Amino acid sequence: MTAWKNVTAIYQVYPRSFMDSDGDGVGDLAGITSKLDYLAGLGVGAVWLSPVYASPQADCGYDISDYRQIDPMFGTMRDMELLIERAHELGLKVMMDFVPNHTSDQHEWFQAARSSRDNPYRDYYVWRDPRDGAEPTNWVSLAGGKAWEYDEASGQYYLHSFMAAQPDLNWDNPRVRDEMHNILRFWLDKGVDGFRVDAEWPISKIYKDDPLNPNYAGDSDEYGSYLHIHCKNGPNMLRYMREMSDVVASYQDRFMVFEYYTEPELGDEIAQYKAIFDLNPRVAGPFVFDMFRMEWHAHDRAARMAKLYACLPQDGRPIHALGNHDQSRVATRLGDSRARALALAQLTLPGIPTIYYGEELGMKDYQMPAGDRHDNFLEGGGMGGRDPERTPMRWNNGANAGFTTGKPWLPIGDDVAALNAHAQLDDSDSFLTLYRDLLHLRAQHDVFRNGVYADVDVQNAYVWAYEVTDGSQRMIVAVNFADQSQVVNMPGKGHMLLSSDPTSVVDRYDGWAMLAPYEAAVFRRID
Ligand code: GLC
């Protein structure tokens, strides 16, 4: 099988929404397996599944009650084994989501822990006495409300950085770390090729109040009203992350991607990325969410990317993502042309890009009526309202877009006739064709996966341009951030390999090139 360093891209499957094989309206493992050929045809090299473990589904599976079981909603352990087997036959790697920070409150550890103060599992979680009859610190939860829940029976509070149904594990307890490492080993032994590590920023904290955010104008006790310098990113976070990645490193060619959001309030964001790149570069790296939190500004982009690539250790791999199940979809945020341009940039940058299901079709958020919503996170929590980006995958123009024969757990949304995989497959102007072409190019040329990034000054403030090179090949990418055509000075001569604009007629350049509004193009230098 392809080594991780040659994986073209990771594809994120949100299992509830990908393909339903049994008509209950919720996607499942057998459904995913039936669509692995589609993913192999698309040209990705790995599939990451958002959590499929046993779970009461208070946070759509990010609240796990048993890390070694598959939730019946998604199928059986046998279905998981068949999925891994079929994926490997097709040359696709499989990544599980790993949720270290918290379990479900239904997990047997938590049930035991809350049963009495001196239960041996008590210390698996974070318990504190009340402070002046109230919460032990002023921390707020990313899911909304306070981060502490009072437990009447034992007279103490427990901590939950997310929902009260997701109590934080106590990572400072070495027994917890051992348990979690053993769960990683359990799945690695089953043949899983890697993990996406969920929300690891709160696994270490300093138990003091967070200061108020002086720049926040909203309601108090909303997530943004504090500077979160104590409730997360604590002094042991990197060490615990490093230990997780060491488990992965003890197996042959496995990989771990950390869900990591840099925090402007913690200072230099590139230094924050660097600390994670440096942990264990051969086997682990952070998502780079820069491109979905970015300002739409060519110069800013160029400067940040130059700094990011300059900070990489040997073997360091940025995992660029344009979206995920927690963020508004890129085509909604930026519109089709800009989403296409960013896809070209994402898939020509060295590292391992990650595609969120449906991004390859240009899927958009769907604002469903309140009665159809499922996300239990509240808006004020900083992360709420995530259903619009989780609507079912569109396979064809049939009933429920071919996703289910039952009633889909979330509505399908509009525009299915044009926006479905079947319709886009043979349409040379479609998003899907662009993604397939880009992934094909990435598979063909190692330089896009493992090359060296360098800035290119094209003397136009509206254009971000870069070169990726491996010494023998030099590829130049130019991204026009303006809604007007731009002339750019290009280095030497080149042949165009691909453009994000299906109407582009350019096929080469000699010293300069003209880019259409929001066009991104990749050229091979030939001089
Ligand atoms: C991560 C997940 C998100 C989940 C949260 C708590 O940010 O991506 O969906 O709600 O962690 O596990």
Distance from Cα 194 to the centre of ligand 1, integer Å: 18
Supply the pTM of this predicted model.
0.98
Residue 222, CB half-sphere, CA atoms under 13 Å: how many? 13
Q: Is 198 a catalytic residue?
A: yes
The rounded distance, in Å, linking the Cα atoms of 334 and 342 is: 10
Residue nearest to atom 11 of ligand 1 (CA): 199
Active-site choice (179, 198, 209, 372): 198
pLDDT digits (tens, 9 = 90+) for 299-329: 999 999 999 999 999 999 999 999 999 999 9
Q: Residue with structure tokens 């990317």?
A: 305
59 lines ligand 1 (CB under 6 A): yes
pLDDT tens-place string over residues 7-28: 999 999 999 999 999 999 999 9
Cβ pair 126, 147 in contact under 8 A: no
Does ligand 1 have an atom closer than 6 angstroms to the CB of 361? no
- Nearest-atom index, ligand 1, CA of 326: 9
Pocket perturbation via mutation, ligand 1, pick of 65, 141, 162 by most ligand atoms within 8 A of CB: 162
CA of 29 to the centre of ligand 1 (A): 20
- What is d(CA 380, CA 342) in angstroms, rounded to the nearest whole number? 30
What tens digit of pLDDT does each residue of 106-138 get? 999 999 999 999 999 999 999 999 999 999 999
- Reply yes or no on whether the pLDDT at 220 is more than 90: no
Phi, psi of 319 (to 5 degrees): -110, 90
Share of the chain above pLDDT 70, in %: 100
Q: From CA 293, how far away is CA 296, in angstroms rounded?
A: 9
What pLDDT sits at residue 265? 80
**Mean per-residue pLDDT over the chain, rounded:** 96
CA-CA distance, 178 to 234, in Å (whole number)? 20
Q: Is the CB of 325 under 6 A from ligand 1?
A: yes
Whole-angstrom distance between the N-terminal and C-terminal Cα of the chain? 36
d(CA 118, CA 29): 40
Q: Is the CB of 62 under 6 A from ligand 1?
A: yes
Which positions ≥6 away from 197 have C-beta within 8 Å?
A: 98, 100, 241, 244, 256, 257, 258, 259
Q: For ligand 1, say whether the CB of 199 is within 6 Å of any of its atoms.
A: yes
pLDDT at 218: 86
Q: Is the CB of 139 under 6 A from ligand 1?
A: no
Cβ of residue 455 lying under 6 Å from some atom of ligand 1: no
Whether residue 317 has its Cβ less than 6 Å from ligand 1 = no
Structure tokens at 337: 């042309």
259 is catalytic: yes
> pLDDT tens for residues 282-304?
999 999 998 877 789 999 999 99
Query: Which H or E element spans position 261?
Result: none
User: Which amino acid would we find at residue 238?
Assistant: L
Side-chain half-sphere exposure of 519, counting CA atoms within 13 A:
22
In the chain, helix, strand, coil percent, each to 5?
30, 20, 50
In this predicted structure, the answer to whether residue 151 has a pLDDT above a threshold of 90 is yes
Is pLDDT of 380 > 80?
A: no
- CB 375 less than 6 A from any atom of ligand 1: no
% of the chain beyond a pLDDT of 90 = 93
Most ligand 1 atoms within 8 A of CB, residue of 16, 62, 163, 375 to mutate: 62
How far is residue 19's CA from residue 31's CA, in Å, rounded to a whole number? 5
Band (pLDDT 50/70/90 cuts) for residue 510 is very high
Q: What is the DSSP letter of 313?
A: P
The secondary element (H helix, E strand) that includes residue 354 is strand 354-356
**Tens of pLDDT, residues 448-495:** 999 999 999 999 999 999 999 998 999 999 999 999 999 999 999 999
Q: What is the pLDDT of residue 256?
A: 98
Does residue 99 have its Cβ closer than 6 Å to ligand 1? Answer: yes
How far is the centre of ligand 1, averaged over its atoms, from the C-alpha of 143 (Å)?
9
- Which residue in the list 149, 259, 290, 387 is annotated as catalytic? 259
pLDDT reported for residue 507: 92
- Atom 4 (ligand 1) nearest CA: 62
Longest pairwise C-alpha distance within the chain: 76
Q: Whose CA is nearest to atom 9 of ligand 1?
A: 326
- Rounded-to-integer distance, Cα 224 and Cα 379, Å: 11
- 269-277 and 237-249 helices, crossing angle to 10°: 30
Q: How close is the Cα of 62 to the center of ligand 1, in Å?
A: 6
Sequence-ordered alpha helix ranges (H) in 250-388: 269-277, 290-293, 298-310, 330-334, 336-346
- Whole-number Å distance between alpha carbons of 449 and 372: 41
The amino acid occupying position 401 is A
Look at residue 430 in the predicted model and tell me its pLDDT. 98
Smallest CA-to-CA distance from 192 within 259, 257, 251, 276 is with 251
Q: How confident is residue 379, by pLDDT bands cut at 50, 70 and 90?
A: confident
331 half-sphere exposure, CB direction, 13 A CA radius: 20
Residue with the two structure tokens 């040359």: 91
Answer yes or no: are the C-beta atoms of 461 and 468 closer than 8 Å.
Answer: no
Residue 395: band (very low, low, confident or very high) from pLDDT cuts 50, 70, 90: very high
C-alpha span between 293 and 323 (Å, rounded): 10
**What contacts 426, CB < 8 A, 6 or more positions away?**
none
Closest protein CA for atom 2 of ligand 1: 198
The SS3 of residue 175 is: helix
Phi-psi category of 57—alpha, beta or left, where left has phi over 0 and alpha has psi -120 to 50?
A: left
- In angstroms and rounded to an integer, the radius of gyration of the C-alpha atoms of the chain is 23
Q: What is the atom index within ligand 1 of the atom nearest the CA of 324? A: 8
Half-sphere exposure of 44 (CA within 13 A, CB side): 27
**What does the pLDDT read at residue 378?**
82
Predicted confidence (pLDDT) at residue 384 exceeds the cutoff of 90: no
Q: Is the CB of 162 under 6 A from ligand 1?
A: yes
- Tens digits of residue pLDDT in 329-376: 999 999 999 999 999 999 999 999 999 999 999 999 999 999 999 999
Residue in 59, 107, 292, 389 to alter for ligand 1 test, most ligand atoms within 8 A of Cβ: 59
The residues, ordered by sequence, that sit 6+ positions from 275 with a Cβ below 8 Å of its Cβ are 238
Per the listing, tokens 């790697």 go with: 93
pLDDT at 219: 84
- Assign 383 a pLDDT band (cuts: 50, 70, 90): confident
Q: How far is the CA of 334 from the centre of ligand 1 (A)?
A: 23
94: pLDDT strictly greater than 90: yes
* Residue 44 CA, distance from chain mean position: 15
Residue-level pLDDT at 233 = 96
pLDDT tens digits for range 156-199: 999 999 999 999 999 999 999 999 999 999 999 999 999 999 99
